[in-house]
Amino acid sequence: ENGVYKFFYDGVWRKSSSGKSVTIINPTTRKPHFRVQACTQEEVNKVVETAKLAQKSWAKTPLWKRAELLHKAAAILKEQKAPIAECLVKEIAKPAKDAVTEVVRSGDLVSYCAEEGVRILGEGKLLVSDSFPGNERTKYCLTSKIPLGVVLAIPPFNYPVNLAVSKIAPALIAGNSIVLKPPTQGAVAALHMVHCFHLAGFPKGLISCVTGKGSEIGDFLTMHPSINCISFTGGDTGISISKKAGMIPLQMELGGKDACIILEDADLDLAAANIVKGGFSYSGQRCTAVKVALVMESVADTLVEKVKAKVAKLTVGAPEDDCDITPVVTESSANFIEGLVMDAKQKAATFCQEYKREGNLIWPLLLDNVLPDMRIAWEEPFGPVLPVIRINSVEEGIHHCNASNFGLQGCVFTRDINKAILISDAMETGTVQINSAPSRGPDHFPFQGLKDSGIGSQGITNSINMMTKIKSTVINLP
Ligand code: G3H
């Protein structure tokens, strides 16, 4: 066990005055691995006030300079990929290679954001008054995009680095300051990432990172009067945050139950490969994981066999060994997943493999003949368990997809592009992938959920726009 990692504000790494810490349990060993400071509300106040002050001069810093610093941070982040990835392996049991990919992807995101920012923020608009009835050309309206102020970024455990920078970089390029509250598991990886930004030379106070217990500082942060925008990715907590937050822009991504609809004319090998990749990568702990396969009855036997054969090849074990399936993030998460599996068992789903669990490690499991009365048909396991529901018509599949409270992504496998587009139009989700598993990236694509899956749209361009306001100056001629 290492010492207690410090939190960061005003350009300095600090110990909390609470004298308390939060322990990060390694999901693989189930033993304490790291500790971070348990910050107090008083410290949150100081952090937010410092961020508020630092933002004022940052907003006046030329756009090209802001971009330059972001490019620097991106390069340092990539240089530091090994130690950061190592934290991801220990804190969230992300397979070693995927952990490195997360950091590299994050560096790319930061650079892209710098480039996109100088383009879209470097442009304004000029409107003339005489296009509206009754007006002469006596008014010229100049518009530009101005920052919001202090942006609060709250990423989830599954991408503590990537889903942090996807909020930090757009906020900074747009002239905002950042207060980051990382998830407990993933906090040390996030602190390392923040250090990369610090090394890049951003002004003091512009980026802060507070750690601690949600119960102590969660509401205090999200309801803080000096916070001007919240960008949150996670679970149900987002719903309560959005109810309590003040009159500020919110960006929320709160999970999904992404459906995969497989038609009779689908390329079944392609579908099977994507179901396995979509359903089981990072052990199903992705909001965009395939969480239910809706398969036409006539091809279901063949497809299930193909998926089963691929599941049998997945390696199960430690993230250090780069296994496909690694322990899920906490014991309570493993218990929740087990609850869904037991419910399906009781209600007679077909188990394509034997259910097996050791500690937080759950072997990949495909459940066939799942029926709508089973919890797994509707709930998000966030684990390596995938239900298959057999359908007799496309309408039945669309109906199941749309009956969900979630509406993040979905996918459809067919060789008939016309059908695919009609199905995409009918699915009430933020994105539909044709002939591929759901996924957020590439990171400049728009990313949004309908219904309980979220508020607003992410993706680099949308996030930059969301973290700005339009300001107009009108020139009135005599
Ligand atoms: O967990 C939610 C993430 O936004 C999903 O990202 O599709 O790149 O895995 P991903």
Ligand 1 nearest-atom number relative to CA 458: 4
Q: Quote the CA–CA distance of 2 and 4 in Å, as a whole number.
A: 7
Query: Is 281 touching ligand 1 by the criterion CB < 6 Å?
Result: no
Tokens (6 digits) for 171: 């906020």
Task: List residues with catalytic annotation.
Answer: 253, 287
Per this entry, what is the length of the chain?
478
Average pLDDT score over residue span 378-401: 98
Average pLDDT score over residue span 265-291: 98
Question: Which residues, 6 or more positions from 141, have their beta carbon under 8 angstroms from its beta carbon?
Answer: 125, 126, 127, 128, 129, 472, 473, 474, 475
Rg (CA), the chain: 24
Ligand 1: residue whose CA is nearest its atom 6: 440
Query: Is 286 touching ligand 1 by the criterion CB < 6 Å?
Result: yes
Query: Is 167 touching ligand 1 by the criterion CB < 6 Å?
Result: no
> pLDDT tier at 107 (50, 70, 90 boundaries)?
very high
* Triad 437, 438, 443: Cα angle to 5°: 125
ipTM rounded to 2 decimals? 0.97
165-207, pLDDT tens digit by residue? Answer: 999 999 999 999 999 999 999 999 999 999 999 999 999 999 9
Ligand 1 center from residue 373 Cα (angstroms): 28
Ligand 1 center from residue 122 Cα (angstroms): 30
Ligand 1: residue whose CA is nearest its atom 7: 439
- Residue 319 is classified by DSSP as G
> pLDDT tier at 1 (50, 70, 90 boundaries)?
very low
Query: Is 440 touching ligand 1 by the criterion CB < 6 Å?
Result: yes
Is the pLDDT reported for residue 243 higher than 60? yes
Average pLDDT score over residue span 111-133: 97
Ligand 1: residue whose CA is nearest its atom 2: 287
321-354, pLDDT tens digit by residue? Answer: 999 999 999 999 999 999 999 999 999 999 999 9
44-86, pLDDT tens digit by residue? Answer: 999 999 999 999 999 999 999 999 999 999 999 999 999 999 9
> pLDDT tier at 3 (50, 70, 90 boundaries)?
confident
**pTM of the predicted protein model:** 0.98
Contact between 378 and 294 (Cβ < 8 Å):
no
- Substitution site in 252, 285, 288, 333 for ligand 1 pocket (most atoms within 8 Å of beta carbon): 288
293-313, pLDDT tens digit by residue? Answer: 999 999 999 999 999 999 999
Ligand 1 center from residue 106 Cα (angstroms): 12
Element containing residue 36 per DSSP (H, E):
strand 32-37
Ligand 1 center from residue 442 Cα (angstroms): 10
